[in-house]
Amino acid sequence: MQLRLPTTLSEAQRYLAEGAVPVGGASLVWALWQRDGFPEQAMSLRQLPEANLIEREALGAAVLLHQVDDRVPDVLRGAASTVGTGAVRRTATVGGNIVGSTLRCLLPAALVLNARATVLDRDGSYETDLAEVVAKRPLLLGLRWRDPVVSGYHKADAEAGGPPPLVVATAVHAEGDGRHRLFVAVRDGYEVTSETTPCDTGAEQVLEALFRTALGSLPVPAREAIRKEVTGILDRLDGR
């Protein structure tokens, strides 16, 4: 297997056209390749500048999970810090987690940030939404978002090897008219549900509005976690 290490977008685009298979951190594909056979060409973005950004409003797909720090919002840092073990976080990448993983631990955090994805195909790079990233699994270059006012992340305790733990991600964004909007994303099992509502009323009114959406059909433990996380983040908003 030949490993391609592009340093420019044009190189990465050319390698894709030649059939190179993206590897991310290889933490997910290596076992499959050992079982099914290795591709002729693979491609890592670890030397591509656009895929290695760590900024307050941007995160590259080639960034290793253990590198996600306080330069990004709390919700994204919390998500990255709870993926697998320390050894996994030192090899797994942002792009591999969102595009290649069935759990997609970073997806709820990206959804509440209202993030947009930059992806690359044989015709070049373009911006798209996370729904397309999940459905089509393109080569992810990175994420961009608008910095939230406050954000938070909750992951329930779970036994290793058991069902995926419940995740509740929250973020409050300032709107142009001075008001605020709450985004909530929940991973229950393998399914992720996200909703949004204005949040300048009291916590109970905000929760009533959320539970009139698809979030209201989630199991009781998920709704209880939503209630706790939403109440907490609105308290933090009031304290600013």
- List the domain range (segments joined by +) for residue 19: 2-144
For residue 174, give the CATH number of its domain. 3.10.450
Q: Which of 84, 110, 144 is the last residue of a domain?
A: 144
Going from the C-alpha of 88 to that of each of 5, 171, 203, 218, the distances in angstroms are 22, 26, 37, 30
Q: Which of 95, 125, 144 is the last residue of a domain?
A: 144
Are 112 and 128 part of one and the same domain? Answer: yes
73-118 pLDDT tens trace:
999 999 999 998 898 899 889 998 998 778 889 999 999 999 999 9
DSSP bridge pairs for 123: none
Are 134 and 28 part of one and the same domain? Answer: yes
151-206 pLDDT tens trace:
999 999 877 777 899 999 999 999 988 899 999 999 999 999 999 999 998 999 99
Burial class (CB in 10 A: 0-12, 13-18, 19+), 108: buried
What pLDDT shows up at residue 176?
82
Helix axes 203-211, 220-238, angle to 10 degrees: 140
Q: Which of 114, 144, 174 is the last residue of a domain?
A: 144
Side-by-side strand order, sheet with 124-128: 54-55, 58-60, 139-144, 116-121, 124-128
Are 37 and 137 part of one and the same domain? Answer: yes
